[in-house]
Amino acid sequence: MDATSVRWPFWIGIVTDHLERQRAFYRTCSVSRSHSSVPTTSSSSWTAISSELLRRTDDPEYDRPRIQIGFEVTDIRAARSRLIDQGAEPVTEILGGAESTNSWAYFRDADGNVFEITERIP
């Protein structure tokens, strides 16, 4: 896998204006608050995807209700450049850093869907 590869999703965010209502809905549906299992191509059979409810804000990555997916990358700068070259529209610069254990950036795909890439910092 090269440094610009976008891996399997590791995070799903649900942006909402109604945080408590959504929280109650997902609890009622017995959806795990912390993870769910999905197949992966790694040596293990399953991997966890974390999920998070996010209150809508005026920030471009959270500006309207939606579901967005986060993908892990090895080299965020190289992956960001490649995504832009392939037509993804950057929504943010690279955010975070060593003080937050991750670096991340948001984009819009060809249909305008927002997604995130994240590089984990050891």
Mean pLDDT of the chain: 80
User: Stretch 103-118: mean pLDDT, rounded?
Assistant: 89
Strand partners, 71: 9, 117
- Average pLDDT (85-105) is 92
Q: How far apart are CA 46 and CA 40, in angstroms?
A: 6
Residue numbers of the domain that contains 43? 6-120
Domain count, the chain: 1
pLDDT higher than 70, residue 43: no
What CATH number is given to the structural domain containing 24? Answer: 3.10.180.10
Cα dihedral 114, 96, 75, 64, rounded to 10, equals 0
Residue 99 falls inside a structural domain: yes
105 token code pair: 């950036």
pLDDT at 33 over 60: no
pLDDT, residue 5, reads: 77
Q: What is the mean predicted confidence (pLDDT) over 104-120? A: 89
pTM for the structure as a whole = 0.69
Closest CA to 116 of 88, 87, 85, 97: 88
How would residue 50 be classed by pLDDT, with cut points 50, 70 and 90? confident
Q: Is residue 10 part of a domain?
A: yes
